[in-house]
Amino acid sequence: MTPTAPTNIPAIDLAFPIVQGLVMPIEHAHQLLGAIKQAAPQLAEVPIGLHPLRGTPLPEGLLHLRHRTPLRLRLPSDRIAAALPLAGKELRIGSMLIRLGSPSVEMLEPHAELYARTVIISKTVPKAGRDAEARGNRHATEPEVIAAVQARCNPGATVRVIGSRTITLHGKAPGGKRLWFPGFEMVIEGLDAEHSIAIQSTGIGGRRAFGCGIFVKAGMRKMATADVPKTTSNEVGDA
C-alpha cells in the first residue's frame, strides 16, 4: 500500500546534487526508486514524490543528465530525516552509478498557477462476470481527470489539459513486460495560497514516486517539457 501524506503537514522539496554520474537508462524510474529505498529504507514508509530528472535522450536508450540537475524528492516536512541517509550514497541504476551530495531544503511557495507534466488517475469500476462484487481499475478519461483536479481547487480556479502523455514502466508487469499509463499534462490557474500549498504538498493522482501528479510553479513549464516527447517513459525531462 502506498503511504499517504497527512493533509495538514506541508511538504518540502529535498534536492540532492548529483556529484558523480551523468548518464543513466531512459527507463530508470523503477530501478531508481528501488535504489533510493535501499539506501534510505525508512523512505518506504514515506509518501514521496520523485521529480523526473532533466536530461537529453541519447542513442541506445540512455539519458544524459543536464549539468547541475539534482535528484529532487518531495516529502512531508516532518519526514526529512528519513531521506538524509541518501547524502553521499552511490545509487546503481542498471549498469550505471550516480553519487549524491548533501541536500538542500526548498520550501514550497503558494503560486496561483501550477503545472503538472503528467497526472494519472485510476477509477474503480465493476468487473464483468458473475461476481457482482468484483471490482477493477481503469484509467480516468480527460473529463474525469479534470473533475478530480477541480475538486481539489478553490472556487474560481480553472483547470486545463494542455497535452496528453503516455508513460511506461519497464518490468512492472508479469514477465518483466512494460506497463503503459495514459496521463494528462495540466495547468491550474487562479489558486489561493491554501489550495496551492495543499495541491503541491500531496499531489493529485497516482504514481508520484515515478514523477506523476507533482505540481510546480507554472513558470517552470518550459524547463519541465524540454526534450520530452509526448509518448515517453516518464523519466525524461523535469517537472
Give yes or no for a contact between 235 and 65, defined as CB atoms under 8 angstroms apart. Answer: no
Question: What is the pTM assigned to this prediction?
Answer: 0.80
Residue 75 has pLDDT above 80, yes or no: yes
Nearest alpha-carbon partner for 221 in 195, 185, 196: 185
Neighbouring-strand partners of residue 139? 122
Question: Could you report the per-residue pLDDT of 131-153, keeping only the tens digit for each?
Answer: 544 445 677 889 999 999 999 99
Q: Comparing 2-11, 46-55, 151-160, 180-189, which segment has the lowest mean pLDDT?
A: 2-11
Specify the CATH architecture of the domain 11-107.
2-Layer Sandwich (3.30)
Please check whether the two domains, 11-107 and 114-225, share a CATH topology: yes
Fold of 114-225: Alpha-Beta Plaits (3.30.70)
Give yes or no for a contact between 120 and 139, defined as CB atoms under 8 angstroms apart. Answer: yes
Q: What is the spatial distance between Cα 179 and Cα 61, in angstroms, rounded to a whole number?
A: 17
Q: Which residue has the higher pLDDT, 129 or 216?
A: 216
Q: What is the pLDDT of residue 7?
A: 55
Q: Quick one: DSSP state of residue 43?
A: G
Domain ranges in the chain?
Answer: 11-107, 114-225
Q: What is the pLDDT of residue 234?
A: 42
